[in-house]
């Protein structure tokens, strides 16, 4: 069983840090950071930027516990993961999305989460094996990306572990 996550074009270092912490808690084996998603500080960096400091502050050390890798482009990564036998599941609201509670994961799952405002493009969703969403009951039609990731990641991790 294998559970990895992909954060694509997440603009807020606060969200990225919180998602690192959640990924660690849910037992994710690896995090891929794609597009312009902020990366944690690494020793080769010349200095800590405000974004590095923000990410570290919210991750509380989880950025050192979970293996992560930066990839500039998402499509080649998705193709690679599919070749490795991963089921790609996007967390996004769409006409074809399933309630996250009824989703049945494969033994190897890659959970893809997108931008806070724009979400994931329809072209990206077509590359995914499944699309899941969290049903909303109030007037707002979405949750903060880090909160939504927390809900979905623990549900998936609980089913595959």
- CATH no. for residue 30? 3.40.1280.10
| Residues 145, 148, 150: CA angle, nearest 5 degrees | 110
Nearest-angstrom CA–CA distance, 122 and 126: 6
Section 33-41 average pLDDT: 93
Q: Collect all residues with Cβ–Cβ distance below 8 Å to 93 and sequence separation of at least 6.
A: 119, 133, 141, 142
Number of independent structural domains in the chain: 1
| pTM given for the model | 0.93
Which range marks the domain in which residue 80 is found? Answer: 2-160
pLDDT tens digits along 63-112: 989 999 999 999 999 999 999 999 999 999 998 899 999 999 988 999 99
pLDDT of residue 45: 67
Q: Exposed, middle or buried, 148 (CB in 10 Å: 0-12/13-18/19+)?
A: buried
């Amino acid at each position: 069983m294998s559970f990895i996550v992909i954060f694509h074009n997440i603009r807020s270092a606060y969200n990225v840090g919180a998602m690192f912490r959640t990924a660690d808690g849910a037992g994710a084996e690896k995090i891929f950071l794609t597009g312009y998603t902020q990366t944690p500080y690494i020793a080769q960096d010349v200095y800590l930027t405000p974004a590095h400091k923000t990410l570290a502050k919210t991750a509380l050390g989880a950025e050192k516990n979970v293996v992560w890798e930066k990839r500039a482009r998402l499509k080649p990564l998705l193709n690679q993961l599919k070749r490795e036998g991963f089921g790609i599941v996007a967390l996004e609201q769409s006409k074809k999305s399933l309630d996250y509670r009824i989703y049945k994961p494969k033994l190897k799952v890659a959970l893809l989460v997108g931008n806070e405002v724009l979400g994931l493009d329809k072209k990206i969703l077509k590359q995914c094996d499944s699309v899941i969403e969290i049903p909303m009951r109030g007037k707002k039609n979405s949750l903060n990306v880090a909160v939504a990731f927390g809900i979905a990641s623990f549900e998936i991790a609980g089913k595959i572990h």
